[in-house]
Amino acid sequence: MSGTHTIPLPGPPSGEITYSSAIQATVTVSASAGNVSLPSVVIPANPIPANTSIHRVTAYCGFRKIVNSNGSTNAVNVEQNIQVRADTPGTYIDAITIADNALSVAASSTEGGTMLAGTIDVKGEVDGADTYELQWEAADVDGNSMVFHDWQCHLKIEYR
């Protein structure tokens, strides 16, 4: 058998990298809707390999535990969003949607934490090296207050 065989050259690398904020000791959400600041995520210079571009960016927030000091069951009051923006300047955009009645906690109790995962692609706002601010927009719970301990935010960059 004769002929020339070519071996395709590999394309640019693809993968993902996650950048995380510092841990914020507590985040308190009351029964009065208001924006709550969350810890910022810093993405350094040259965050992805050369010859690649950002394909998708998603946000995540996690916490160790929730303390409900209210005398009745407590939960998120109406659907709400965690938002992200570049700090110089930026416009907050939705990154993580939290459903109505999510994060339900029994009366006067402490529950384990969880990870909130975004499904919204935020690469229109998170587009490279910068400090990215996050907030819980119009944060509101059914009862008096819920305190989230050891809150941390993450931005996952997928590149190709």
Q: What CA–CA distance (Å, rounded) separates 39 from 27?
A: 10
Q: What is the mean pLDDT of residues 107-127?
A: 97
- Report the first-to-last Cα separation within the chain, whole angstroms: 37
Look at the domain 15-159 and name its fold: Jelly Rolls (2.60.120)
Q: What is the pLDDT of residues 4-21, one digit of tens each?
A: 666 766 666 799 999 999
Identity of the amino acid at 32: S
* pLDDT of the residue at 20: 98
- The secondary structure of 20-72 as a DSSP string is EPPPEEEEEEESS-EEEEEEEEEE-SS-S-TT--EEEEEEEEE-SEEEE-SSS
What are the sequence ranges of the domains in the chain? 15-159
* pLDDT of the residue at 90: 86
* pLDDT of the residue at 89: 82
Q: What CA–CA distance (Å, rounded) separates 24 from 88?
A: 22
DSSP 8-state class, residue 9: P
Q: What CA–CA distance (Å, rounded) separates 121 from 88?
A: 20
Q: What is the pLDDT of residues 44-94, one digit of tens each?
A: 999 999 999 999 999 999 999 999 998 999 999 999 999 999 997 889 999
